[in-house]
Structures are given as structure tokens and as C-alpha cells.
Amino acid sequence: MRVTVQHVDGLRFLATVGEHTAVVDAAPEDGGGGTALSAPQMFAAAMGACVLEFVVNSCRLREIPCRRVSLELEYEEVPRPRRIGPLRMVIHIEPEPSEAVKRRLLGVARHATLINTLVRPPEVQIEVAGASPAHTLNRGGE
């Protein structure tokens, strides 16, 4: 999978995957224009969407009624080192399923792709094009 991120202006960027493009803009307090989701907000939104994708698909496959499904996610930004801190998600399903179904759906949610990624972080390699190996940053995963 390839993602291309291009600088537009200020602290605004276009992130493109295939034919899909999203705008990312830093928050005004971070020097951006606040014209779109910031990267941390986009990360949190992606986490919520990933979890709901797994939950809704499980309901579909098991014919569990779910007329309305939503998720509320709260997170903190931690300053040192700057990162996303604790995440708290609450899933709302109508009609409300039984306690047994809720437990099964929580198990499904815990195996969403982005949850698994946080539990088993990938190795991250960052380099500047044309730079010598001394200008490469590797951060370990598993």
C-alpha cells in the first residue's frame, strides 16, 4: 500500500491513496489553519472507523440487528514525548444487543486492524531521499 503526502501551504497537506485524497491541517494552536482534521484527529477518527468496521461487519455476518451504530472516542495528547495518550471508545448500538452479544462484539473490536497495530507496532523507517544511511531513522516494532 502506498500513501503520498504532499505539502499544500502552511501546515496543510494532501494525503492520497489510490484515487482517494484527504486534507490534513495542523490545529491553529500548532501553527496550522485548522481547515481540516489534524493528523492526531485523523488518527483518532481512523481508530474509531476501524473498530466500527469490524463491529458492523460482525453484526452483518451474524445477522445481529443494528439499525444505528456509532462510536464516541476520547483521547488525550501527551506532551513529552508528544503523542496520542489514552484512548477511550464507547460503541452505541440500536437496538441494544444482549449482554452476551455485547461481550462478543467487544472481542471483535479488540481485534480491529488498527488496535492490533498498536499492540504490535510496526517498525518505522524514515529517511530523506538520496541521504546516506547515517540519515535514516529506524524505530523498532516487534
Q: Quote the number of domains for the chain.
A: 2
C-alpha–C-alpha distance, residues 60 and 54, integer Å: 10
Q: Give the pTM.
A: 0.88
Contact 49, 108 (CB under 8 A): no
User: Do residues 66 and 120 share a domain?
Assistant: yes
User: Do residues 79 and 97 share a domain?
Assistant: yes
Q: Which domain holds residue 49?
A: 38-139
User: Do residues 77 and 130 share a domain?
Assistant: yes
Per residue of the chain (142 residues), what is the pLDDT tens digit?
Answer: 999 999 999 999 999 999 999 999 999 999 999 999 999 999 999 999 999 999 999 999 999 999 999 999 999 999 999 999 999 999 999 999 999 999 999 999 999 999 999 999 999 999 888 877 666 667 776 5
